[in-house]
Amino acid sequence: MAKRYIYSIICMFFILILAGCKSTKYVPEGEYLLNKVAIKSDVPDVKKEELQSYLRQTPNASVLGFWKLQLGVYNLSGKDTTKWINRMLRKIGDAPEIYNPEQTDMSLYQMQKFLQNKGYFNAEITTELTTKKQKAKITYHVKGNRPYILNRYQILIDQPDVYQIASDTAHSLIKKNMLFDSNVLDAERERIASEMRNQGFYNFEKDYLNYVADSSMHNNTINLQLGFRQLLTEANDSLKDKIFTQYRIKEVIIHTDYDPLRRNNIQERVDTIRKGDYLISYGKKRNLRIQTLINNCFLVPGELYSDRDVEKTYATLNALAAVKYVNLLFREVEPGWLTCYVVTTPAKSQAFTVEGEGTYSAGDIGVAGGIGYQHRNLFRGSEQFSIQGRAAYEWRQVGGNAIELGADASLKFPSFLIPFVNSAWRRSNNAATDLNVSYNYQKRPLEYSRTIASAGINYSWHKQGSRFRHSYDLVDFSYVYLPWISDEFKDYFLNNQSVLKYSYEDHFIMRMAYNGSYSTYRPNRPLSNYYSLRYGVETAGNLLYGINHLFKMQPADDGSFRVFNIRYSQYVKADFDFAYNQVIDPNNRFVYHAALGVGLPYGNAASLPFEKRYYSGGANSVRGWAVRTLGPGTFKTDNTYIDFNNQSGDIKLDLNVEYRVKLFSVLEGALFLDAGNIWTIHDYETQPGGLFRFDTFYKQIAVAYGLGIRLNFNFFVFRIDYGLKLYDPALVGQDRWRVKPTWKDDMAFHFAIGYPF
C-alpha cells in the first residue's frame, strides 16, 4: 500500500510538470525561446568550456541536458499574478529565455577577442540561427585557422636584477614555439614584478614592463622583445633610483587592541614595549604576548621587503583565534628603508554557555544541566581553552536514584609543541597542538555503573600556500570500565545480537594515527573540475605489547596481555578516499567517488574493536541497503533485525557515481549508482561467506541505484536518498539481479546532513 502511494505521488509530480511544459507558453508572438546553444570548434588548444564562458545568453537550465524543469514550473503558473499560487510558481521557476540577437553578437565578439588573446588572430566565427515553433537554436561555428606561434624571445633590459629574473628559463612562462597567448604574456610580467618585490624592490610594478611583437615574417610566427615602458626609460634619475632600490625593513611597529569604530585610538596608547627593532603598543591591556606577535610576523627588521612575507603575516595573524582583523601598512622613512605598521583588532576572548533540561518518564522525574566556558586567549598567546561540565539526577520510584557526572576539556595551542623542530620549519607552517581529556561516570542502581574516559594529543599543520593538510594523533586513549551490571540488564538488553552490547563491554585502546588531505578546488574558479583525496593510517597496542615483552610480563589465562585487567586492542588500519567533481555548468555536475579501507588485527587482538570495524550500506555507502545491513561478502543474517556484530568487517570498498542538478531555489536533485561491500580478514565461524578472496571478491560487490532530493542552505545540506538494490551478492543465482525489486527487501530511504562524498 505504501509503495502504491509513493508511486502515485511521483507520477502526479511528473504529470504536473509535463502538463506545464509547453515551453513557449509565455513567449511573446513574433519572438523565440532560446532552446539550445551549440559550439562547433576546430581549435584543438581551446576547450569548448572556455568558449562557453563567454556566451552572453544561454538557454534555461535543464536536467540531464533536456528536461527544462524550472521553465516547466514557471509555465505551470496562470496569467493572473494576483493569485499567490501563480506568484509562487513564477518565483521558484525560471522565466523563458527569449532569444536576443544583440546578445548573440556580443557573445561572438567576446569569443573572437578571447581567441585573439590565445594567438588565433585569424579566427573566424559565424552564427547559424535555426527556428521552429517559436524555438531558436544558435550554433557558433568556430574556425581557428593557423595560429601565431612564438619564434624568438629577447630580453632587452639593462637592469641586472630584472634581467636575471626575466631570463630564468626554468621559471619563465614564455617558451619557444608556444601559442602567442596574451594571458601568458601578462602572467609573465606579473611573475617578474612579484619576484622583484620579493627581492626587496618595493616600488616595482608589472606596468613598467612592455612587449614589442614583430610578425613581419608573414609565416604566422612572432618575434617578441621584452623591455621597459617609455615612461620608465624617460623617467628622471631620482624616480629610477626609487624604483630600483632594494628596501629593507627598518622597524616593525605593532598596534594591538585597535578599534575601527573609535577615532585616534592608535594615538591613545597607554603602554609601549620595545624588543630589538620591534615596537609593540598596547591599549588598556596586553592582548597578546610580545613573542607571540613577533613569531607570527614574517617581516623581520634588517631583512629585505618581500610580498611573500606580507602574505604569510596576514595568514598567520588572521589564523590566531584572539585576532579579529589585521592590516599592514608601510611607510618610507629614509631611502631604502621601510617602517612596517601591523594593526590588529582583538576578538572577543571569553564566552559562557549554560543549558538545562527536565524529564518525566513513567513517574520518574529527572533534571540535568550543563555549563561551558571558552577562552580564546588563555595565556595571551591565542591559546583556545574550553571546558564543559554536565550533571544529571533522576528520582526513581523504584530501585534508588540515578546519577550521571561528566566533563571534558581541551586546550589548543597555535603552534607545534614538540622538541627538535627548528624555527624555520615553525615559521613556514601553520600548526596547532590540541590536548583533550574527557570523563563520564554513570550510576544506575538497577542496571549498571560505568566509567568512560579518554585523552589525547593531536598535531595539525599545513605548509604556507600548500593544498596538503596534515593531522597526527601522537597518542589517544579510550577506556570503558563497567565494574557491575545487573543480571536483568544483561539478559534484556545485552544479548549477543544487541547493538547496545558493545557500549557495555570493558575495553582499552591506546592508538596513534596520521591523516592527510589534498584538494584542487579553487573558490575563484567554481566552474573548473576538481578533485579531493583523504588518506590515513592508525595503529594501536604496539607500545604496550613491546613493554609487556621487554619486561617479560606474564599473560592472562587466555594468553592475552591486559591493562587494568582489560585486554587491550592491537591492530593497524589504513584508509583512502578519492572524489572527483566534473562540472558541466553551474547547475549540473557529475561526482565520482572511490574509497578503500583495510584493518588488520594482530598480536594481542583476535579482531578489530567493534567501533573500528567497517560497515556497509547507509546514507554514505551503498544506498540500496540500510545502514549496517550489507555484507560481509555473501553473508546473510537469518535475523529479522540488524546483526550489528556479524555485519561488520575488516575491509571496505565503496564505488559511487552521482549526477547532481540544481532544480530551483534551494532544491537540488540527484541520480546515483553505488557499488561496494565489506569483507573479513580472517574466516570467522559466525560470518560464513565473509572472507576476502582475490579470486571471488569482485563477484561479491553489491550494486544499487536511486535518486535523491537535497535542500542546500549553503551553511548545511539536508539530504533524502531513495536507493534500490540492483545486484545482491547475498542471494543465489539469478535472484542476485533484482530486476523486479520488492518494497520490503530491496529498497531503502536515507535521511542525512551533507553530501555523501
Residue 18 predicted with pLDDT over 60:
no
Residue 696 predicted with pLDDT over 70:
yes
Q: Which of 397, 433, 400, 396 is nearest to 416 (CA)?
A: 433
Give the 3-state secondary structure percentages of the chain, helix then strand then coil, rounded to 5: 20, 40, 40
- Note the pLDDT of residue 640: 64
Question: Grid coordinates in use for 576?
Answer: 583512502
Distance of CA 385 to the CA centre of its chain: 26
Do 253 and 310 fall into the same domain?
Answer: yes
| 727 inside domain | no
- How would you write 60-105 as a 3-class SS string? CCCECCCECHHHHHHHCCCCCCCCHHHHHHHHHCCCCCECCHHHHH
Kindly tell me the sign of the dihedral angle through the C-alpha atoms of 397, 399, 400, 404.
negative
pLDDT tens for each residue of 363-391: 778 899 999 999 999 999 999 999 999 99
Residue 582 predicted with pLDDT over 60:
yes
**Predicted confidence band of residue 2 (pLDDT cuts 50, 70, 90):** very low
The rounded distance, in Å, linking the Cα atoms of 182 and 25 is 46
Do 427 and 469 fall into the same domain?
Answer: yes
What's the chain's average pLDDT?
A: 89
Residue pair 587/661 in contact by the 8 Å Cβ criterion: yes
Q: Going by C-beta distance under 8 Å and a sequence separation of 6 or more, which residues neighbour residue 630?
A: 615, 616, 617, 621, 622, 647, 676, 677, 678, 702
The predicted model gives 421-447 an average pLDDT of 87
3-state DSSP assignment of residue 24: coil
CA dihedral 492, 497, 499, 500 (to 10 degrees): 30
Whether the pTM exceeds 0.75: the reply is yes
Residue pair 97/41 in contact by the 8 Å Cβ criterion: no
| 754 inside domain | no
CB atoms within 10 A of CB 422: 7
**Predicted confidence band of residue 19 (pLDDT cuts 50, 70, 90):** very low
- Note the pLDDT of residue 271: 78
Q: Going by C-beta distance under 8 Å and a sequence separation of 6 or more, which residues neighbour residue 315?
A: 430, 464
The predicted model gives 707-726 an average pLDDT of 92
Residue 515 predicted with pLDDT over 80:
yes
| 366 inside domain | no
Do 123 and 162 fall into the same domain?
Answer: no
Do 166 and 109 fall into the same domain?
Answer: no
Do 411 and 277 fall into the same domain?
Answer: no
Last residue of a domain, one of 96, 119, 143: 143
Do 317 and 211 fall into the same domain?
Answer: no
User: What's the CATH code of the domain at 518?
Assistant: 2.40.160.50
- Among 9-18, 352-361, 574-583, the minimum mean pLDDT is found in 9-18
Residue in the block written with cell 624568438:
152
Do 530 and 407 fall into the same domain?
Answer: yes
CA angle, 461 as apex, 459 and 464 as ends, to 5°? 165
Do 253 and 204 fall into the same domain?
Answer: no
Give me the number of domains the chain comprises: 4
- Note the pLDDT of residue 7: 55
User: What is the number of alpha carbons within 13 Å of residue 295 lying toward its C-beta?
Assistant: 21
**DSSP label at 247?**
P
| 710 inside domain | no
| 561 inside domain | yes
Cis check for the bond before 756: say yes or no (omega within 30 of 0).
Answer: no
pLDDT tens for each residue of 310-332: 999 999 999 999 999 999 999 99
CB atoms within 10 A of CB 288: 24
162: part of which helix (H) or strand (E)?
helix 160-166
Do 274 and 134 fall into the same domain?
Answer: no
Residue 5 predicted with pLDDT over 50:
no
The predicted model gives 597-603 an average pLDDT of 95
The predicted model gives 388-406 an average pLDDT of 90
- Among 114-128, 261-275, 413-427, 569-583, the minimum mean pLDDT is found in 261-275
Share of the chain above pLDDT 90, in %: 62
Residue 20 predicted with pLDDT over 50:
no
Distance of CA 698 to the CA centre of its chain: 31
pLDDT tens for each residue of 461-498: 998 888 999 999 999 999 988 888 888 877 766 665 55
Residue pair 474/489 in contact by the 8 Å Cβ criterion: no
| 162 inside domain | yes
Last residue of a domain, one of 243, 260, 291: 243
**Predicted confidence band of residue 231 (pLDDT cuts 50, 70, 90):** confident
- Note the pLDDT of residue 686: 82
| 389 inside domain | no
Alpha helices per DSSP H over 463-561: 487-493, 542-550
Do 114 and 164 fall into the same domain?
Answer: no
Q: Which of 182, 204, 70 is nearest to 666 (CA)?
A: 70
Do 315 and 436 fall into the same domain?
Answer: no
Q: How far is CA 353 from CA 44, 307, 373, 435, 530, in A?
A: 61, 42, 6, 21, 40
Last residue of a domain, one of 651, 668, 696: 696
Task: Give the domain extent around 274.
Answer: 248-346
| 304 inside domain | yes
- How would you write 243-312 as a 3-class SS string? HCCCCEEEEEEEECCCCCCCCCCCCCCCEEEEECCEEEEECCCCCCCHHHHHHCCCCCCCCECCHHHHHH
The rounded distance, in Å, linking the Cα atoms of 625 and 676 is 11
Residue pair 477/453 in contact by the 8 Å Cβ criterion: yes
**Predicted confidence band of residue 400 (pLDDT cuts 50, 70, 90):** confident
Residue 629 predicted with pLDDT over 80:
yes
Strands 135-143 and 364-375, how do they pair?
unpaired
Question: Grid coordinates in use for 55?
Answer: 556566451
**Predicted confidence band of residue 34 (pLDDT cuts 50, 70, 90):** very high
CA angle, 107 as apex, 103 and 113 as ends, to 5°? 145
Residue pair 604/651 in contact by the 8 Å Cβ criterion: no
Do 68 and 166 fall into the same domain?
Answer: no
**Predicted confidence band of residue 1 (pLDDT cuts 50, 70, 90):** very low
